Amino acid sequence: MNTAVVTTVAGRAGHLRRQRAALGECLHDGLHVVVGMGGPAPESPGPETVRLEVDASPEGLPLAAARNAGAAAALDRGADLLVFLDVDCIPGPDLPASYAAAARDGALLCGPVHYLPPAGPGGYPTNGLADLAPPHPGRPAPAPGQVVAEDRVELFWSLSFAVTPRTWRALGGFDEGFRGYGAEDTDFARRARDRGAEMFWVGGARAFHQHHPPARQDADRVAEIVRNAGRFHRRWGDWPMRGWLEDLHRAGRVVFAPEAGELSVVARPAP
């Protein structure tokens, strides 16, 4: 199977370098599509690569548009399977093969993700990453070779997932009206469900998320999260990222009153 891995990136040169080194060991005869957002993606050794760029938006990184552009480039080159992998994720050695073995039309395939602690002075080891952190406790982690159906589409994440070309075209990609961080992946999963796609967890398709501070703690991301949550709410009638919004409300960064349908950024005094 001609597998294409699509990665979007802005900065994070070290994360991309470690990802590409791992893909060089497991993406046999595959293609890595690297999409720079607002500038060229950093160069680093790895598998056969297609590089492209999408313009940044004043409203935040064009994550949805970049994923769509990467998928289009992969399909133009004859990809039989699209694997989307966040730049922070180091693929496990069986990730591409596990996704390929589970591939089927009409399916959203998600793999377990292990959230790594901060790297030591020597960086992350090349082997034994699973010993550093268990899979995320809020998501299923089937054994290698197992494929488990999932009804809770709100658990979908864009960190690591795979679809066939027919499924991708049927779903229409990500909504590029989401700009900046948050909610575009939950919206994608909702639309996938409404168009008849089913979600599955794929054992063996492990990825290891390299540590960085949560995006919701970045003051520059708050307005993006609020804007995207509002777009989602207008479409679906409920709120995405409720835990994050509640955390930001407690921190005094936003006003979040879901019963009243209110969400807004708290203005900060000028310095």
What's the CATH code of the domain at 43? 3.90.550.10
Q: Is residue 163 part of a domain?
A: yes
Do 203 and 141 contact (CB within 8 A), yes or no? yes
Domain region containing 91: 3-212
Domain boundary among 212, 229, 252: 212
Q: Are residues 190 and 141 in the same domain?
A: yes
Instruction: Report, as ranges of residue numbers, the positions in the chain whose pLDDT lies below 50.
Output: 270-271
Q: Are residues 252 and 136 in the same domain?
A: no
Q: Are residues 151 and 246 in the same domain?
A: no
Q: Are residues 83 and 125 in the same domain?
A: yes
- Position 76 scores a pLDDT of 98
Which residues, 6+ apart, have CB-to-CB distance to 143 below 8 Å? Answer: 203, 204
Q: Is residue 271 part of a domain?
A: no
- Put simply, whether the predicted model's pTM sits higher than 0.85 gets the answer yes
Domain boundary among 212, 234, 250: 212
Q: Is residue 138 part of a domain?
A: yes
Domain boundary among 212, 232, 248: 212
Quote the CA–CA distance of 23 and 15 in Å, as a whole number. Answer: 12
Adjacency order of strands within the sheet including 198-202: 49-54, 31-37, 3-9, 81-85, 160-163, 107-110, 198-202, 147-150
Q: Is residue 270 part of a domain?
A: no
- Position 56 scores a pLDDT of 87
Q: How many domains does the chain have?
A: 2
Q: Is residue 16 part of a domain?
A: yes
Give tens-digit pLDDT for 180-211: 999 999 999 999 999 999 999 999 999 999 99
Do 38 and 9 contact (CB within 8 A), yes or no? no
Do 109 and 102 contact (CB within 8 A), yes or no? yes
Strands (E), 10-74: 31-37, 49-54
Q: What are the residue ranges of helices labelled H in 136-264?
A: 165-171, 184-194, 222-236, 242-250
Residue with tokens 């080194």: 21
